[in-house]
Structure 1
Amino acid sequence: MERRAGWWWLVLALVLLAGMPAGAWQDAKETWGKLRTSRFKIPLPDNNYVNDYADLLRPTDVTYLRTRLERLERQTGVEMTVVTVKSVAALGAKNVEELALDFFNSWGVGNRKRNDGLLVLVSREDRRMRIETGSGWGTALARDLQNTINSHFAPHFKKEKYSDGIVAGVDQLCTIISRPVPYTDRPWFKPAVVAVVILVLAAVGVSMVTTGEGGWGYLVVSGIVQFLMLVLAVLLSNSHRRHRRYGWSSSSWGGSSSSSGSSWGGSSSSSSRSSSGSFGGGSSSGRGGASGGW
C-alpha cells in the first residue's frame, strides 16, 4: 500500500507540472536557479506580496497588505514585497542589509528591464529592518525610505506593535511610489529658460508684425523662431518625464508578460503571480535602500 501511495503522489506531481502554464514554469525554473546560488538560506516565496515567516502580522493585515500591494502593482507597474524573519542569523546572515539584498536578488523582485522593485525586510529578534530597492531607482528614494522607517515603522515597533507598524509603513511607501516628484525637485534653471524662450518668441513675433520684415531677413528670423520652438518643446517634454518619475501608470507600460520581464499591468497576471510566488526578474545593487532599528 505504501509503495502504491508513493506512485500516486508522483503521478499527481507530474499532472500538476504538465498543467502549469509555460510562463509560470519558466518563472519557477529561474527562481529555483537563483535560490541554488543564493548566499543564505533563502526560502521559496509563497506569495508575491507578503511572506510572514516570523508571524508578526495579523491575518486581516496580511489580506489587506496583499490587496494593497497588488493594487500598487496594477496601478504603477512597481512591485513591492514584505518579508518578516525571526532573525538574520537563522538564515545564515550577519545583518539585515546583506540578507535583504540576497532575498531581493534570489527572488528577482521587480521588473527585469526597469529594476524598480522594493523589498521590506523586518527581523524581529535583531530589532532591525531594511528597505531594499531595485538598481533602477538609484538613490532617488533613499531619503524618503529613511524617513518612512523613522516615522512610520519604528514608532510602532518600539511598542511591539509589529502588524500596525508594517501596515503604516507600507501605506506610506505606496503613497511615495504613487506620487509625482515635487516641483522643487526639478532643476531650477529649466523654468527660467522656458520663460526666456517664450519672451524671445513674443518679441520676435511683435517685431515681424510691426516692421513687416521680408526676404532673407524674414527667413533668418523664421529659422530662429523655429529653433527656439524646438528648444521649448524639448524642455517641456523632459519636464513632463521628470514629473512622472514616481507616478508611473500601468498604461505607460503596455501589455504584461511575466516570462519576458516586461510590464505587469493586468490584474489577472498579477493574481496568477501572487499565488505562484513568481517575480519579474529584477535585481538590486544594494546602494539605494535604507535601514533602521528600534
Structure 2
Amino acid sequence: MLAILRQSVLSLLALVFIGLSGAALADTSPIGIALDQRVIDLTNTLDAETTTHLKDQLAALEQRKGAQVAVLLVPTTGGASLEDYANRLFRAWKLGRKDVNDGILLVVAKEDRKVRIEVGYGLEGTVTDLLAHRIIEEHITPAFRQGDYAEGVSQGVNDLVLLVDGGDLPALAGPGFAPEAIAVLLAFIFGAIGGVLMAAGKLGWRRALIATVALTVLLVVFAGGREWPVYLLLLPLTLLIGGATFGALWMARTVFYCVLGLLAYIVVLVVTNRFVEVNFIHWLAFPLLGLVVLGMYLILFVIMKAAWKKSRAGFIARLLAAVAVYVAAGLVADAGRDGWLLAVPIASFVALIIFGKAGSGSGSSSGGGSRSSSSGSSSSSSSGGGGSSGGGGASGSW
C-alpha cells in the first residue's frame, strides 16, 4: 500500500511541476498576465460602464467577423519602446485567428503619455498604418490631452470596429468537430467501455477482438477522406489506449469514479460554453490544481498514520523535523504573513519525503496484502492562435 502511495506522490509532484512549468513558459507577456479579458486596465482609469461597453462591443465584433481586438492600459512600459512592448505583447497573447492573424492591440501607456495601435498581418490591408495614425492623431490623443481617457479609448475602438467590419476577412469557421476528430473520440470511448467490460469479466478477448475490427471499419468509413489508411492504423491504437486506461482504472474503483466525475465535469463545461462563454483556465485548471493539492495532503495523512502505527517515537522525531523545516522556511522568507504561508507547501513537501521513507520498510508486505485481497462570462477572452505582426500600425503621444 505504501509503495503505491509513494508512486502516487511522485506522480502528483510530477504533474504539479509540469503544470507550473507550462504556466511559466506560456506566460511570456511583458505585463506578466494572461489575456483573459478584451479590455485590461492596469491604471484604474476607465469607469466600469465604459469597460463593460467596450468588452461587449469587442465581443460582438469577434462573433461577427472573427477578428480579435484587445485594449490595454498600463502605467508605463518600463523604459522599453512602446513599439517593441506592443509587438511582444501582441505575439505573447496570440491575437487573431490562427493562419488569419486578424488581431489588433490598442496600448495606452498613461504615465509615458504614449499610445499605439498594433495590427496583425491579416488586417494590415484594412487598418493601414496611415489609418491607424489618423485614428490616434484625430480621435484618441485630442481626448487624452483634455484628460478624457474613456472618450479617447472609446473613439479609437469605434474607429477600429468600423474598419474591421468593412474589411474582407475569411468567414468564421462553422461550429462542430471534423468527422475525423469525432471518429477518434468515439474510438476512445468504445475502447474505454470495452476495457471496463473485460476487466469486469463480462467480455471475452475473442469477442473484444471481433468488436475492435468491426468498430475500426465503421469508424474509418465514418471519418472518410483521403487519409483513411492513417485512421486504419490510428483507430485500433486509440481503442487499445482507451481500453487499457479504463480497464486499469476499473481495478481501483475509487479512482475510476473520480475520473468519471472529472470527465462529466468537463462535458458540462463544454456544453455550457456553447451558450455562455466559459474561461476554461478558471473553471478547469484551477479546480484540478486544487484537487491535486488536496490529494497530496490526503496521501500525506495516510503516510503519517502508517508511520505512527509503526513507531510513535520515530513519528514524533519526523514531525519535529517537518516543523523545524517549516520554521526555517518561514524565517528565511522573511516576508511576514506571506512568508509563513509560503513555508506551508515547502514543509509539506519535505514531510512527504520524510514520512515516505518511514514506511519504506513495510511497503512490500503491505503491497502483497493489498494484492491478495483485491480480485476513480462574456467579459472573458482567450488567445485566438494568431499573434503574427510585422510591426504594422501606428504610435502617438500627447
1:290 and 2:397 are equivalent in the alignment = no
Answer whether contact 2:126 2:163 (CA < 8 A) is retained: no
Answer whether contact 1:137 1:288 (CA < 8 A) is retained: no
Q: Give the match's secondary structure for 2:153.
A: helix
Q: Matches of 1:73 and 1:45 in 2, distance apart?
A: 15
Q: TM-score, normalised by structure 1?
A: 0.57
Q: Matches of 1:83 and 1:256 in 2, distance apart?
A: 32
Q: Out of 29, 39, 46, which is 1:50 matched to?
A: 39
Q: Deviations over 1:75-109 (max 9, x none)?
A: 111110100000111xxx51211111111111111
1:88 and 2:74 are equivalent in the alignment = no
Q: Out of 60, 71, 75, which is 1:71 matched to?
A: 60
- Going from structure 1 to structure 2, the CA distance change for 1:132 and 1:270 (only over 3 Å counts) comes to farther
Q: Which runs of 5+ in 2 are unaligned?
A: 1-11, 13-18, 182-272, 280-377
Identity %: 31
Answer whether contact 2:61 2:161 (CA < 8 A) is retained: yes
- Going from structure 1 to structure 2, the CA distance change for 1:165 and 1:135 (only over 3 Å counts) comes to same
Q: Matches of 2:52 and 2:68 in 1, distance apart?
A: 16
Quote the offset at 1:42 in angstroms. Answer: 2.9
Q: TM-score, normalised by structure 2?
A: 0.43
1:134 and 2:120 are equivalent in the alignment = yes
| CA RMSD across the alignment | 3.1
* Corresponding letter in the other structure for 1:109: L
The corresponding residue for 2:50 is 61
Structure richer in helix, relative to its length: 2
Q: Give the match's secondary structure for 2:115.
A: strand
Q: Give the match's secondary structure for 1:114.
A: coil
Query: Is the radius of gyration larger for structure 1 or structure 2?
Result: 2
The corresponding residue for 2:83 is 97
* Corresponding letter in the other structure for 2:278: S
Q: Out of 255, 280, 288, which is 2:175 matched to?
A: 255
Answer whether contact 1:31 1:108 (CA < 8 A) is retained: no
Q: Out of 262, 271, 276, which is 2:277 matched to?
A: 271
Q: Matches of 1:68 and 1:62 in 2, distance apart?
A: 10
Q: Matches of 1:157 and 1:76 in 2, distance apart?
A: 29
- Going from structure 1 to structure 2, the CA distance change for 1:103 and 1:255 (only over 3 Å counts) comes to same
* Corresponding letter in the other structure for 1:127: R
Q: How many residue pairs get matched?
A: 189
Q: Deviations over 1:173-223 (max 9, x none)?
A: 10111015xxxxxxxxxxxxxxxxxxxxxxxxxxxxxxxxxxxxxxxxxxx
Q: Which runs of 5+ in 1 are unaligned?
A: 1-13, 15-25, 181-244, 261-266
- Going from structure 1 to structure 2, the CA distance change for 1:111 and 1:178 (only over 3 Å counts) comes to same
The corresponding residue for 2:135 is 148
